[in-house]
């Protein structure tokens, strides 16, 4: 041992003629001593690799093999020739964007309130956001059936005169939007000459104006009979139910991506913008959104993949009506049950491609997120990088 | 523009951050809020900026009550401890942001940005991003950004806290000169007394949400109002002792003390700064304590000596000039006679 150590030190190797064999052996021995044994390395790698190939690799390749088994022409005929399949693709492309918009709005609001405000029930909200992940999708679907279904709490009412709630619902949305806009455009103390009369009492204006607007809109819609009377408003076994179920199961995605990003960035830049004279709206568009944009895109992409592939919850609320409430995953299942294997694999290949594309974007985006360490952090030493 | 803070209180849950704080910041002054962490200095600064809301009390600019104004309406420039530069904007965009959101036209904005880049000696770096600058450069950009919209008040939260010693020293002097040049009322927060003394012309010492003393650096250092200020501003030796008929008595040693001339007899703590201790090889009249040299640190312009009193085994820190140290040629284990040139006595109504 002693001799080898001496040989390995560079100062002696200059005087003593080099002995490459002995030196290589010493290096090999050192390397062996610093590593795990070969059987551990090879064993673990083999287990991991073979599992991935068997359970993920081969099935995915098989999807494409089966889809293209009858040739490219048959593949596209299977995808776009069947009207029910066409409708399923279109339905997925309508339901998913609505669910995405809802989740982006919810995700931003939830992430903002959780990371920037301290309020009672903050931890409860954080926990509840994850609930859709832990609830079985089938149970989620059943919850909506129990509320909106025929035998559910709201079922009889919705069937009798469902559209009568629409004036209230639409008016509420308009009023909320109006109040938010009012607070965003309201002039501030800096312009004292504009601070006259009602501008001084923002809450009075917001509440009073909001109530008046609401009443006016509701009465106007009722008087003009915008919505059908005594008609059944279908939520379950119809598109609204699909949107609700899809939104529910994908709720956590955007919020969960945004919360760590916003936590990592901290509120200082936003406060700096405000102290420089930015309004809440300006702060959001100039500072917050550019800072969280990669997190947001990441969340939206994950959300999109899950929303497109959602089966359980959608299965329960859709009623499985071909050409009406079948989404892509439901269509795949139905084609499979009908022994139309090429058709079912063709649709499946579209969803698989989407998954691969999502993974690709995901791995590209991970480097852009401040929570993954590549964001510029303040250089505490004061030296030029 | 002067600032007045009137009876401001602030609680975070059960923690009292500020307790009945009153403060006047004269127009054009450069004031330091100095205190240990948790003393409420940053909270006070953020209340002045409108980034934090006081539970009660008022903040006034001149005579205008701005307590209910939001941060964006207060016309203050705020420099954050970790700069808080907008990471996705160039340096020029960062500096111009305050003008952009106030609707200043682009040519005018560019002119002002160029002027400020020159002021912070970063001309030519306007196209870079914050991540490409050093800490000191970022701090200057943060300052320029705060100054761009010509604020009435400049507020700085631990402006040099995250920088290394050498850059900090340069920036302190630069801030001092900048303030002389632009004369904007400025308040900065620091926990470093040296920094406060070097930069500020008024120092506010804070502790546990209260203001302990306000004054010029010399006033605060030479005439500390209480034991906390004395202890917080630099090293100090504390001797337990008594006051008897206007004299401070430490371990049988009677010292003249002007602080409590009338007090008959009371327990008190006697404070002596390290450089106000006189060391002698031989007992030369007067009253002195016998002490043994424990450790000598001769680096720097002043030699720091650790001593232990022979009778009570108390640790004492002393500082000598290099010349005096050479004269005495002290080393560990030597016996010396210690006598204070100046003492301050605080009867223990304050606890530290």
User: Which of A36-40, A162-166, B14-18, B348-352 has the weakest average pLDDT?
Assistant: B348-352
Q: What is the pLDDT of residue A376?
A: 42
Q: Average pLDDT in the A256-268 region?
A: 90
- Whether the CB of A268 is below 8 Å from some CB of chain B: the reply is yes
User: Does residue A157 have a pLDDT over 50?
Assistant: yes
Question: Could you tell me what percent of chain B has a pLDDT over 90?
Answer: 31
Give the torsion through C-alpha atoms of A369, A132, A155, A323, to 10 deg.
70
Q: Residue A190: its chain B contacts at CB < 8 A?
A: 72-73, 75
A194: distance to nearest CA of chain B, Å?
14
CB atoms A276 and B146 under 8 Å:
yes
A304 CB-contact burial (10 Å; exposed 0-12 / middle 13-18 / buried 19+) = buried
CA A344 to chain centroid? 26
Per-residue model confidence (pLDDT) at position A195: 52
Contact A275/B72, CB-based, under 8 Å?
yes
Predicted local confidence at residue B261, as pLDDT: 61
User: Which element (helix H / strand E) includes A262?
Assistant: helix A252-265
What does the pLDDT read at residue A1?
Answer: 39
pLDDT at residue A11 tops 60: no
Contact (CB<8Å) B86/A384:
no
pLDDT above 60 (res A303) = yes
Contacts of B167 (CB under 8 A, 6+ apart): A382, B134, B135, B136, B160
pLDDT of res. A180: 81
Check pLDDT > 50 for residue B21: yes
Mean pLDDT over B149-175 rounds to: 87
Distance CA B150, CA B147 (A): 5
Considering only CB atoms, which chain A residues are within 8 Å of B129? Answer: 376
pLDDT in tens, B306-337: 998 887 888 889 888 888 888 888 888 888 88
- What per-residue confidence (pLDDT) applies to B258? 61
Question: Got the DSSP string for B2-33?
Answer: -EEEEEEEEEETTEEEEEEEEEEE-TT-EEEE
- Interchain pair A381, B83: CB under 8 A: no
Flag whether pLDDT at B93 surpasses 90: yes
Q: Does A380 touch chain B (CB under 8 A)?
A: yes
User: Tell me, what DSSP letter sits at residue A385?
Assistant: -
- CA-based nearest residue to B118, from B151, B90, B140, B93: B140
| Helices (H) then strands (E): counts for chain A | 21, 0
- Which H/E stretch holds residue A173? helix A166-185
Looking at the predicted structure, is the pLDDT value of residue A378 above 50? Answer: no
Nearest residue on chain A to B85, alpha-carbon basis: A269
Tell whether the model's pLDDT for residue A261 goes beyond 80: yes
The Cα–Cα gap between A13 and A6 comes to 8
Whether A187 has its CB under 8 Å from any CB of chain B: the answer is: no
Phi and psi at residue B278, in whole multiples of 5°? Answer: -105, 130
Judge whether A14 is closer than 8 Å to chain B, CB to CB.
no
Distances, alpha carbon A227 to alpha carbons A22, A134, A163, A168, A213, in Å: 92, 38, 6, 11, 19
Nearest to B212 by CA among B26, B16, B35, B91: B35
Q: Give the range among A10-19, A65-74, A223-232 with minimum mean pLDDT.
A: A10-19
For B134, which of A190, A269, A379 is closest by C-beta distance? A379
What secondary structure does DSSP assign to B135-195, as a single string? HHHHHHHHHHHHHTT--SEEEEESTTTTS-HHHHHHHHHHHHHHHHHH--EEEEEES-HHH
pLDDT of residue B331: 83
Q: What is the pLDDT of residue B95?
A: 94
CB neighbours of residue A384 within 10 Å: 11
Tell me the C-alpha distance between B256 and B243, whole Å: 10
The two tokens of residue A66 are: 């089966």
The residue written with tokens 């491609």 in the block is A353
The residue among A51 and B349 whose pLDDT is bigger is A51
HEC profile of B267-293:
EEEEEECHHHEEEECCCCCCCCEEEEE
Compute the distance between CA of residue A159 and CA of residue A232 in angstroms, rounded to an integer: 4
**pLDDT attached to residue B321:** 87
CB contact under 8 A, A278 and B101: yes
In what order do the strands lie in the sheet containing B30-34?
B76-79, B153-157, B185-190, B30-34, B202-207, B210-215
Contact residues for A273 (Cβ-Cβ < 8 A; gap 6+): A282, A283, A286, A287, B86, B97, B101
Supply the DSSP string of B295-326, one letter for each residue. EEE--SSEEEEEEEETTT--EEEEEEEHHHHH
Nearest CA in chain A to B137: A382
Query: In this complex, is the C-beta atom of A192 within 8 Å of any C-beta atom belonging to chain B?
Result: no
Three-state DSSP class for residue A12: helix
- Cβ-contact A380, B135 below 8 angstroms: yes
* CA atoms in the 13 A half-sphere facing the CB of B132: 10
Query: Is residue B210 predicted with pLDDT exceeding 60?
Result: yes
Interchain proximity A383–B134, CB inside 8 Å:
yes
Report chain A residues whose CB lies below 8 A from the CB of B86: 269, 272-273, 286-287
Distance from chain centroid for Cα A339: 34
Mean pLDDT of B253-277: 74
A378 has a chain B CB within 8 A of its CB: yes
* CB contact residues (below 8 A), chain B span 23-82, against chain A: 49-51, 69-78, 80, 82
Distance separating alpha carbons of residues A264 and B150, to the nearest angstrom: 31
The residue of chain B nearest to residue A266, with distances taken between CA atoms, is B84
Does the beta carbon of A275 lie under 8 angstroms from any beta carbon of chain B?
yes
Distance from CA of B274 to the nearest CA of A (A): 32
Under 8 Å between Cβ of A269 and B86: yes
Cβ–Cβ under 8 Å, residues B212 and B227:
no
List of chain A residues whose C-beta atoms are within 8 Å of the C-beta of residue B49:
275
Residue A370, phi-psi category: left (phi > 0), alpha (psi -120 to 50), beta (remainder):
alpha
Question: What pLDDT, on a 0 to 100 scale, did the predictor assign at position B259?
Answer: 61
Distance CA B4, CA B59 (A): 6
Interchain CB distance below 8 Å, A269 and B138: no
Measure CA B205 to chain center: 7
Cβ of B138 and A188 within 8 Å? Answer: no
Mean local confidence (pLDDT), B38-65: 89
Size of interface A-B (CB pairs under 8 A): 109
Cβ B51–A290 below 8 Å, yes or no? no
CB contact under 8 A, A272 and B145: yes
What ipTM did this prediction achieve?
0.81
- B49 in Cβ contact with B155 (< 8 Å): yes
Show which of residues 137-166 on chain B sit within 8 Å of chain A, judged by CB atoms. Answer: 137-138, 145-146, 148-149, 162-164, 166
- Measured in angstroms, the CA of B82 and the nearest CA of chain A are apart by 7
What pLDDT is attached to residue B238? 86
DSSP for residue A288? I
Question: Would you call A277 and B76 a contact, using CB atoms and an 8 Å cutoff?
Answer: no
pLDDT-derived band at A24 (thresholds 50, 70, 90) equals: confident
Rounded Cα distance, B21 and B5, in Å: 7
Residue A382's pLDDT is what?
A: 37
Residue pLDDT, tens place only, A50-61? 999 999 999 999
Residue A193, both tokens: 């000459």
What's the whole-number average pLDDT of chain A?
81
> Distance between CA atoms of B323 and B321, rounded to whole angstroms?
5
């Amino acid at each position: 041992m002693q001799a080898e150590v001496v040989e390995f030190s560079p100062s002696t190797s200059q005087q003593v003629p080099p002995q490459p064999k002995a030196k290589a052996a010493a290096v090999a021995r050192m390397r062996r001593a610093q590593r795990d044994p070969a059987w551990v390395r090879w064993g673990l790698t083999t287990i991991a690799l073979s599992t991935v190939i068997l359970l993920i690799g081969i099935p995915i390749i098989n999807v494409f093999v089966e889809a293209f088994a009858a040739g490219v022409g048959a593949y596209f005929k299977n995808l776009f020739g069947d009207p029910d399949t066409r409708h399923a693709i279109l339905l997925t492309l309508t339901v998913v964007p609505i669910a995405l918009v809802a989740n982006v709005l919810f995700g931003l609001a939830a992430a903002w309130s959780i990371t920037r405000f301290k309020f009672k029930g903050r931890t409860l909200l954080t926990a509840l956001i994850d609930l859709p992940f832990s609830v079985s999708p089938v149970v989620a679907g059943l919850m909506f059936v129990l509320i909106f279904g025929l035998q559910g709490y709201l079922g009889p009412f919705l069937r009798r005169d469902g559209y009568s709630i629409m004036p209230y619902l639409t008016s509420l949305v308009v009023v909320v939007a109006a109040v938010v806009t009012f607070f965003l455009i309201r002039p501030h103390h800096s312009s004292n000459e504009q601070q006259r009369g009602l501008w001084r009492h923002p809450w009075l204006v917001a509440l009073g104006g909001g109530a008046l607007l609401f009443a006016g809109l509701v009465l106007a819609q009722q008087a003009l009979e915008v919505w059908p009377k005594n008609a059944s408003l279908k939520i379950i076994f119809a598109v609204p139910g699909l949107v609700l179920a899809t939104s529910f199961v994908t709720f956590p995605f955007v919020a969960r991506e945004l919360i760590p990003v916003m936590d990592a960035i901290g509120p200082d830049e936003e406060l700096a913008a405000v102290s420089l004279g930015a309004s809440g709206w300006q702060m959001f568009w100039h500072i917050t959104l550019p800072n969280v944009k990669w997190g947001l895109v990441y969340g939206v992409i994950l959300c999109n993949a899950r929303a497109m592939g959602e089966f359980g919850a959608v299965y329960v609320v859709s009623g499985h009506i071909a050409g009406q409430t079948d989404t892509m995953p439901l269509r795949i299942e139905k084609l499979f049950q009908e022994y139309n294997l090429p058709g079912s694999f063709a649709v499946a290949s579209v969803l698989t491609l989407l998954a691969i594309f999502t993974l690709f974007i995901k791995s590209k985006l991970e480097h852009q997120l401040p929570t993954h360490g590549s964001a510029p952090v303040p250089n505490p030493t004061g030296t030029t990088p | 523009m002067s600032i007045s803070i009137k009876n401001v209180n602030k609680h975070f849950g059960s923690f009292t951050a500020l307790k009945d704080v009153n403060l006047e910041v004269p127009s054009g002054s450069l004031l330091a809020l100095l205190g240990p962490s948790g003393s409420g200095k940053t909270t006070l600064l953020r209340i002045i900026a409108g980034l934090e809301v006081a539970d009660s009390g008022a903040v006034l600019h001149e005579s205008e009550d701005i307590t209910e104004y939001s941060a964006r309406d207060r016309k203050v420039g705020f420099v954050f401890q970790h700069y808080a530069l907008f990471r996705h904007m160039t340096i020029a965009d960062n500096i111009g942001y305050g003008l952009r959101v106030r609707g200043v036209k682009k040519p005018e904005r560019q002119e002002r940005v160029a002027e400020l880049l020159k002021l912070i000696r970063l001309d030519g770096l306007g196209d870079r991003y914050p991540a490409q600058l050093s800490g000191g450069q970022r701090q200057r950009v943060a300052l320029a950004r705060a100054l761009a919209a010509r604020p009435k008040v400049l507020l700085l939260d631990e402006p040099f806290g995250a920088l290394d010693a050498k850059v900090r020293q340069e920036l302190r002097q630069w801030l001092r000169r900048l303030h002389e040049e632009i004369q904007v009322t400025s308040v900065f927060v620091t926990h470093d007394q040296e920094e406060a003394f070097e930069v500020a012309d008024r120092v506010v010492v804070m502790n546990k949400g209260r203001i302990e003393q306000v004054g010029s650096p010399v006033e605060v250092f030479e005439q500390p109002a209480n034991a906390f200020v004395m202890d917080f501003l630099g090293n100090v030796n504390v001797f337990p002792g008594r006051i008897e008929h206007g004299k401070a008595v430490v371990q049988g040693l009677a010292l003249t003390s002007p602080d409590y001339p009338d007090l008959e007899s009371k327990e008190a703590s006697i404070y002596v700064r390290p450089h106000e201790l006189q060391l002698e090889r031989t007992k030369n009249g007067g009253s002195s304590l016998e002490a043994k040299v424990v450790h000598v640190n001769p680096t720097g312009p002043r030699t720091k000596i650790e001593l232990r009193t022979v009778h009570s085994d108390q640790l004492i820190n002393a500082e000598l000039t290099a010349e005096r140290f050479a004269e005495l040629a002290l080393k560990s284990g030597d016996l010396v006679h210690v006598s204070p040139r100046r003492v301050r006595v605080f009867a223990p109504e304050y606890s530290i």
